Chains A and B, each alone.
Chain A
Amino acid sequence: GENVEQHPSTLSVQEGDSAVIKCTYSDSASNYFPWYKQELGKRPQLIIDIRSNVGEKKDQRIAVTLNKTAKHFSLHITETQPEDSAVYFCAATLSGGSYIPTFGRGTSLIVHP
């Protein structure tokens, strides 16, 4: 099955700095890669996703890049703010059949004011 590795496990940045979280996946057939943000005690919420026919996608301060050859994808947050502090999970999944994303272990992002 799919295996998703996520790094780093914790990331501490100063407000205004950029943050990058990286994930690798094992199944080359995976073609959908969502990112979830989970604030303390809350549900995971989708913040951005990318499909395998796209190399990069941007939404305001958040961007995601995908390198299919290397089987890795990254989340980039620019101009970080304290409210960006949360755990971020990447996931990978295969289209067809049930939608069962395999999650990474999560990155705890702390943005210091």
Chain B
Amino acid sequence: EPEVTQTPSHQVTQMGQEVILRCVPISNHLYFYWYRQILGQKVEFLVSFYNNEISEKSEIFDDQFSVERPDGSNFTLKIRSTKLEDSAMYFCASSFTGTLDTIYFGEGSWLTVV
């Protein structure tokens, strides 16, 4: 079964540093997403991406966040200047259509900001 893959699985970074989380969505999927889950809390939507542009974003996705699809396979989330409260599990997800379809999640990238 095809899977969404994410790297790194775990990253520790100093506060103020830039972090890039990488994702390879399922190959024929067209919609891509980033979600965040702070330890013990619910999964929160960050941003969705379609046709090489952001289609929706949440209040969490402020100017320190950006997403990019630099080539035909990768989808990245960049956090420009990390804060302690950015420590969380970041899930990439993809879906074939944008409506009434199942989202497939990656294994997650655990980010620890110290």
Binding site for B on A (CB under 8 A): 31-32, 34, 36, 42-46, 49, 51, 89, 95-106
Contact = CB atoms under 8 A, between A and B. Distances in A.
Given A51-B100, A98-B48, A43 B95 contact: no
26 contacts: A31-B100, A42-B107, A43-B91, A43-B105, A43-B107, A44-B43, A45-B105, A46-B102, A89-B42, A96-B99, A97-B56, A97-B98, A98-B50, A98-B55, A98-B98, A99-B97, A99-B99, A99-B100, A100-B33, A100-B48, A100-B56, A101-B45, A101-B103, A103-B43, A105-B41, A105-B42
Interface of B: 31, 33, 41-45, 48, 50, 55-56, 91, 95, 97-103, 105-108
A104 B103 contact: no
Contact of B43 (A89, A95, A98, A99): A89
Main DSSP-derived SS at the A contact region: loop
B102 A34 contact: yes
Given A43-B106, A89-B42, A98 B100 contact: no
Contacts of A102: 45
A75 to B, nearest CB: 15
Given A97-B98, A99-B97, 18 more contacts: A31-B100, A43-B91, A43-B107, A43-B108, A44-B43, A44-B105, A45-B105, A46-B103, A89-B42, A95-B100, A97-B56, A98-B48, A98-B98, A99-B98, A99-B100, A99-B101, A100-B33, A103-B44
